[in-house]
Amino acid sequence: MADHGPKSAEGYPLSLRFHGAARTVTGSCMEFAQKGVSLLVDCGMFQGSRTLEYLNAGPFEFDPAKIPAVILTHAHIDHSGLLPKLVAQGFKGTIWCTGPTADLLEFMLADAGRIQESEAERHNRRRDRAGEEAFQPVYTEADAIAAWHLCRKVELEEWFEPAPGFRARLWNAGHILGAASVELVAGGVQIMCSGDIGPDNKAFQPDPEGPSGFDHVICESTYGGRQRERVSIAERRRLLGAEVRSALARGGNLIIPVFALERTQELLLDLASLLREGQVPDVPVFIDSPLASRVTEVFARYAAELEDTGGANVFASPSFHFTADVSESIRLNSMTGAIIMAASGMCEGGRIRHHLIHNLHRRGSTVLFVGFQAQGSLGRVIQEGANAVRISGTDVRVRAQIRRIDHYSAHADECELLDWVAAREPIGGTLFLDHGEPEGMEQMRRELQRRRPDQNVRLPEIGESYALAAGKPAKRIGTGRTELQQALGRDWQNDYAAFVTGLKSDLAHIHDEAKRREALKKMSEILDSYSEFREGKAKA
């Protein structure tokens, strides 16, 4: 573990260190420090490739016991998912967030804890791990519940003091239920952390809000370099209706990987409308995610405050069936002509993998992606046209129709992000872009510099730290963790899965037995040529 707190510099009263979501879209965590006091904005899990996810088990670069507070922008796991680990390693401070975020965390964190425990148990059962050291969960369900009990609800736009020397207030971010941007003042420096910004005209949430005039702004860039066609909610429903009718006409199931929080509820809102108006066949819609069921209950609790619901519980349609346990989920294997929504949205865990195994190989089935797929995730691999994928040790051919709708994203596209940044101007110091992929971030940086040539724009790396002062550009005082750069994007395990999934088929197409064995021999010789690296690792 590194020394506690990023060091500042003379004339710069505040420091900032990026512990995640820098040149990648998950793992959001920023540490602000002044006069020996640090606080975090977000503490999220890394999601994507296996190499990237391994970072979740690594040590924090700070002492959790010395952190007095976390300000949480929203309940998505890539922003909140390491809070239980923080608690397990000594954090006893306060987690400041909006009321809806705290209500959602009760279920989100507990579910994440159960997943950590079940994943560790599954790894330890695998035969190919015989004799190896047992996997330990990153944290447990008990740790998750302990973290939730540390939440303190605050109202939007009301000032509070999360830690000595810090003042903060939250602003609607328009992203998901309870999501907020964080305005932070410390050492005479004014900062705005965007959190995740929602698109204009999003269901349920009003458009993002916030004041103008800051010394430094940290803005997400998930959709940097990308622009979506502007559609109304009515037009979005028309597009969804067309996809549903087309999928069901093929005779198979429509499988929709969803995020349990917000994406599921938006789809249910639109499906309820389409079913009510007879725009799609009245087939059963299964929500195969206990977490999504609990989150939907929270949404129903806030129905009177949500836009586009008319104050009614739109999730009570007779066509909607929330599966409660694993046996109900397994029974869906025999279904045909149904709509099955299951988490996770990037297909990296949860029951969606089970449904992909049983439906991807069926020509009559359809998989509809309705959200962002991070580099290295199974969803991204399928979406980019893989002929076969490896899921939980099973090789699965992709014969199903693969479709995509971009208009359910909870993230603003580049144009909307640029508008959000413009509304925060003037920015007297540095504009940081985080929570994005390198290519998209660079495109967004170029557009920002074209619009404001004098604006200082930085694309931080994980581990980089900066000294901050009022009215002047940030000063880099610590380099990034260069060893982590190879963990971003696709990793060797993605390439391995793609290779072994098609290997047997490729060998079978070599019709000469001798040539087939020759190919295997050559591959073995190539692996043997790297023996020095294997031996070096063994000696280490």
Q: What share of the chain is helix, strand, coil (3-state, %, to 5)?
A: 35, 20, 40
Say how far apart CA 214 and CA 192 lie, in whole Å. 7
Q: What is the pLDDT of residue 509?
A: 80
Q: What is the pLDDT of residue 538?
A: 45
Q: What is the pLDDT of residue 123?
A: 77
Say how far apart CA 271 and CA 222 lie, in whole Å. 27
Specify whether the CB–CB gap between 428 and 471 falls below 8 A.
yes
Q: What is the pLDDT of residue 155?
A: 98
Q: What is the pLDDT of residue 282?
A: 96
pTM across the whole model: 0.85
Q: Is the dihedral of CA 61, 64, 65, 67 positive or negative?
A: positive
Domain boundaries, the chain: 14-227+410-480, 233-404, 502-539
Q: 446 to each of 442, 464, 473, how far by Cα in Å?
A: 6, 21, 18
Taking the chain (540 residues) in runs of 10, the rounded mean pLDDT of each run is 59 96 95 97 90 88 97 97 98 98 98 91 70 85 98 98 98 97 98 96 92 98 92 93 98 95 94 96 96 94 88 88 92 95 89 95 96 86 94 92 92 96 98 96 97 97 96 94 62 66 75 85 82 53
Q: What is the pLDDT of residue 360?
A: 97
Q: CA angle 160-166-170, nearest 5°?
A: 45
At how many degrees (to 10) do helices 263-276 and 233-249 cross? 80
Question: How does DSSP classify residue 76?
Answer: -
Domains 14-227+410-480 and 233-404 share a fold: no
Could you tell me which of 175, 128, 183 has the C-alpha nearest to residue 154? 183
Indicate the CATH number for domain 233-404: 3.40.50.10890
CATH class of 14-227+410-480: alpha beta
Residues 126/128/134/138 CA torsion (nearest 10 deg)? -60
